[in-house]
Structure 1
Amino acid sequence: MLVIAGTVPDPNFPLVTGPAYLEGRSLKVGNYLIPILRGTPALVAAAIRTAEFVGDKPPHVLLAGDTGRGGGSRLVYQHIVENAHSFAAATLTFHYLQPEVDWHNRILMALDALPLPPVRIADAGFMYAAKMSGYATSYDLFTPDVGELAFLADEKAPHPFYTRGFILHQDQQAPELIKRAYAHDNAAGHLLVKGAVDLFASGENIHWRIDSPGCEVMEAMGGTGDTITGMASALIASGIHMEKACHMAALANRHAGMLTQPTPATQVVEIIRAIPQALAMCTGD
């Protein structure tokens, strides 16, 4: 089972849990429709398309409205702590959540107490919380872009805003940033670094790089990094080995861009529609 925890940018959106489906250009969770623009909705939509492709059930989501004040994020945190038993043996992906170390640590303790803890994947705000807490190594996979990787690599920065200027967040610096993150125990067991060149690493070792096919327009599109994390999460939840799942997700994201031929006006939902065909190109189906 894949569970995705995150937020939507609507301060009036309540805590909603349940399986997520696609309806036109929106997610449907219960009686709620959520536009797929970027962020967690884009990640969830990509996971839905991927789950359909591999024949899995749709992901279960935990969503609340939050525009940066933290109220919705705390509702999600609290729900996970109070219902931790239901996530045993699942794949649990944390996304856009206001980073709060105390709540993060409560979740980690609750999950660690399970007889079969879930596979733990973190991106965006929750990845920040994991690093800030000092427990980054408790995670199976982080999916940063190069800017986020720079924060992981800075052992002194308490928050991304304070990443030191000499730590460059440029694509060509990614290998060095990976080494720094692992040297200071600020990385998960595996890293999928998203960018013009996608990298997969563990323990300072870079296992593969992907730089083609390339679609420059996607670099400036909101949500295209979220789609990689969504695909990788669904593939891992289906039982595919993590390294292979991340490779498929990164490559399929590139194929989806080439199939869509995006312009600066293209929305990420158009990329998501091409995911099944893009995954088929990766598997030869």
Structure 2
Amino acid sequence: MADEGKNRVLMRIADALERLAPPPAQPVDLGAGDAFFWDDAGAKVIEPFDSIDIDLLTGIDTQKARLLDNSSRHASGHAAHDVLLWGSRGMGKSALSKSVVRALQIQGQDIALVETASDQLAKLPALFDLLAREKRRFILFIDDIGFAEGSSEPRMLRSMLEGGASQRPGNVRLYVTSNRRHIVPRQMSEQDDPINPRDAVDDQLALSDRFGLRLGFHAASQDDYLAIITRYAAAHGLIFEREDALLWAKKRGSRSGRVAWQYIVELAGRTGKPLA
């Protein structure tokens, strides 16, 4: 009888714990939704999918046209490149990657963005298996990628881009941002290494070579910086003074699209206006 009583108590405890536990997460439908984030726990819908209106992105017209054209080809099922967007911080690499996908969605194209972190590279084959089952097209976006010296991840990524067993499926293209043109930093010691120094350099450059389209983003000139602010200000009904905008950039030690947007936030705050 004592054992029977214990069992009843244990069953009640188990029932209580089951009620307290959250229900298991339902698999995300990758065939619907505009954008997703993927990590160890699986895919999650990014809702709402916030991106800057592509027409507001200023000072990067060439990069914008080329990335939009490549993305449109991919969305239409035509041949398209994996893309490396490299260069100065805050000049719109990430914003443009997201904005082109959103622009195509507004046009009615069945394409979605899947964002993941660079520390998930080893697990990307599992994601590729999921995406390959879908009929729609995907842009796999990896922001601010970088590798520790001696890491095997650059070779892993090279394999995914071209020629490896874990190569990304045909309905997926990788859009990767980096502050460095060749992604992996080159060390001065390479020039002094007597053992095949050229091989070491070639091994590093081979990764960036896997991207069929490489778009450079450079620091904004003063005119570009003011043009960015002018367009943002017009879109949000704000008035600014040229010298005030330049002083804002001077205090931050740089001119970029990010600094320009931060100035717009400051300007809107001063005048008591919200920004959507």
Q: Same fold (TM over 0.5)?
A: no
Please identify which structure carries the higher strand content: 1
TM-score, normalised on structure 1?
Answer: 0.35
Q: Which has the larger radius of gyration?
A: 2
